[in-house]
Amino acid sequence: MNKYIERLYNGIIKENPVLILMLGMCPTLAVSTRAANGIGMGLSTMAVLILSNLVISLLRKVIPNEVRLPAYIVIVASLVTVTELLIEAYLPALYDELGIYIPLIVVNCIVLGRAEAYANKHEPFLSVFDGIGMGIGFTLALTLTSLLREVLGSGTAFGFRVLPAGVEPIGMFVQPPGAFLIIAVIIAVQNAIGIKTRQRKLVDSGCDGNCALCSRACDGEGGAK
Amino acid sequence: MKSLILIIIGGALINNVVLNQFLGICSFLGVYKQMKASASLGGAVIFVITVASAVSSLLYTYVLAPFGIEFMKTIVFILVIAALVQIVEMFLKKKSPGVYKALGIYLPLITTNCAVLGVALTNVQNDYNFLESVLAGFGTAVGFTLAIVLLASIRTRIHEEDIPAPLRGAPIVLISAALMSVAFMGFAGLSF
């Protein structure tokens, strides 16, 4: 397989950040009340991820190893601020819906995790593809979750009514408990059909999902093996 | 006075940071299976969030706002938090090695706990003054501690139960969290 296609496959399926690695759970649970929000959040994160992978990969020989984490945090925070201002200017409705979760992309484990695990060891072009793959994987997982929640909780999909008029939507699914339940069911279904999450493996080697400071443990490539 | 108490209770129970706003989920669902470790982490988080709220509130009011560079808040706050965690770690290591040893591995992990940055940003969003920010931070951190300690105690019990195979691991923990979240929704009915 072409190594660029392999990166995309890796991010979308093999190491899907939400469904397999169980990273970035905060935004997945929080903004998934409507499918449109899920896509908006997914694409915003993807933009930050691609750019941060690119910048960090370009600077990988310049940044001293000892101060790499603060450096990455500043790079990511700058990119997030730019993204936030762009969303505020051009998509004000989305900005109001996502609110505080846009600046919180800074502490999204996926972004710093990929910087540590991939971008600081590989050439820029491959790192960009890694960002695209992970970004698409994150967006798909987020869209799936938010679509399920929207259909069950509001009876609509992307704003269009899908449940027959006689069926009452279950309001709890757009409330906080519904988020936990839907993710639990998705992972249980995965387990039942034999797709293993790798969270336990990562946790055993000392990572709790806070990737910035557990570089090797969260390393999707080699550290976890 | 009443509004200050309301801020603490609101932060701890009504808008519980983990079960209602989904911040700090990573550490909530992560390694903290033991009660003792959860309580230690909770203590460290209470300290860091309270101090981070105070420092970020001061910085925002006296540095960012006068110069009109409010848009820099994300960058400034995350650096403040990272530095603060470092200082706390160094201080504890020097002054009270016992506490440092107890909290050791959990301390640096707090930097990327989204609850810390989340509280600092929410305080700014709500236009809280210094005192309100500190209390909101404290209340939120107490809510976080409450949630992780409760979940840890539930998990020690789950561990001994016969769970259907597909639900083992993350799913059953998430379902427990969902039920806790339902319970915490009840606090929304608190009225003063």
Which residue in chain A is spatially nearest to B19 when comparing CA positions?
Answer: A176
List CB contacts of A210: < 8 A, sequence separation 6 or more.
A109, B26, B27, B30, B109, B111, B112, B113
Is B104 within 8 Å of chain A by CB? no
Is the confidence at residue A212, as pLDDT, over 50? no
Q: What is the pLDDT of residue A157?
A: 87
Percent of chain B scored above 70 by pLDDT? 88
With vertex at residue A108, the alpha carbon angle to CA A106 and CA A113, rounded to the nearest 5 degrees, is 105
- Highest mean pLDDT range out of A72-86, A96-110, B147-161, B177-191? A72-86
How many of the other CB atoms lie within 10 Å of CB of A194?
7
More confident site: B15 or B57: B57
**Lowest mean pLDDT, pick from A57-61, B57-61, B78-82:** B78-82
For CA atoms A122, A123, A124, A127, give the dihedral sign.
negative
Q: How far is CA B117 from CA A104, A137, B112, B122, in A?
A: 7, 25, 8, 9
**Residue B43 neighbours by CB under 8 Å, 6+ apart:** B103, B145
Candidate from A25, A104, A212 with C-beta closest to B111: A212
Residue with tokens 């570089």: A215
Quick one: pLDDT at residue A201? 45
HSE at residue B12, side-chain half, CA atoms within 13 A, is 16
Per-residue tokens: B168: 């083992």
Whether chain A has a CB inside 8 Å of the CB on B1: the answer is no
Q: Per-residue confidence at B60, pLDDT binned at 50, 70, 90?
A: very high
Give how far the C-alpha of residue B173 lies from the chain's centroid of Cα atoms, to the nearest Å. Answer: 19
Choice among A70-79, A125-134, B48-57, B165-174 with the minimum mean pLDDT: B165-174
Residue in chain B nearest A209 by alpha carbon: B26
Contacts of A145 in chain B (CB under 8 A): none
SS3 A224: coil
Tracing tokens 């093996």 back to the chain, one arrives at: A225
pLDDT at B168: 81
Q: Do B170 and A85 touch (CB under 8 A)?
A: no
The answer to whether B65 faces chain A, any CB pair under 8 Å, is no
Q: Which residues of B touch A187 (CB under 8 A)?
A: 169-171, 174
- Mean pLDDT of the region A101-116: 86
Q: Give residue B55's identity as a one-letter amino acid code.
A: V
Cβ-Cβ contacts under 8 Å, A78 against chain B: 75
pLDDT at B133: 93
Q: Quote the longest CA-to-CA distance of chain B.
A: 60
**Average pLDDT in chain A:** 83
Q: Which residues of A touch B71 (CB under 8 A)?
A: 81, 84-85
Q: Locate A149 and state its tokens.
A: 């929640």
Most confident of A17-31, A194-208, B27-41, B169-183: B169-183
pLDDT at B61 over 70: yes
From B55, B58, B133, B51, select the one nearest B89 (Cα to Cα): B51
Summarize the confidence of residues B169-179 as an average pLDDT. Answer: 88
Across A208-217, average pLDDT: 40
Mutate to test the interface with A, among B73, B106, B112 (most CBs of A within 10 A): B112
User: Which range, A26-35, A138-147, B149-158, B183-192, has the best average confidence (pLDDT)?
Assistant: A138-147
Residues of A in contact with B20 (CB under 8 A): 176
Token pair listed for B81: 């938090």
pLDDT band (50, 70, 90) for residue A90: very high
Task: Using alpha carbons, select from A217, A179, A198 the residue that is nearest to residue A13.
Answer: A198
Q: Going along A21-167, which residue ranges are E strands?
A: 156-157, 160-161
Of A77, A85, A191, Cβ closest to residue B166: A191
Instruction: Tell me what pLDDT residue B108 has.
Output: 67
- A-chain CB neighbours of B73 within 8 Å are 103
Query: Hey, CA dihedral for A216, A221, A224, A225, is it positive or negative?
Result: negative
- Contact in structure between A111 and A48 (CB atoms under 8 Å): yes
Q: What is the mean pLDDT of residues A158-167?
A: 83
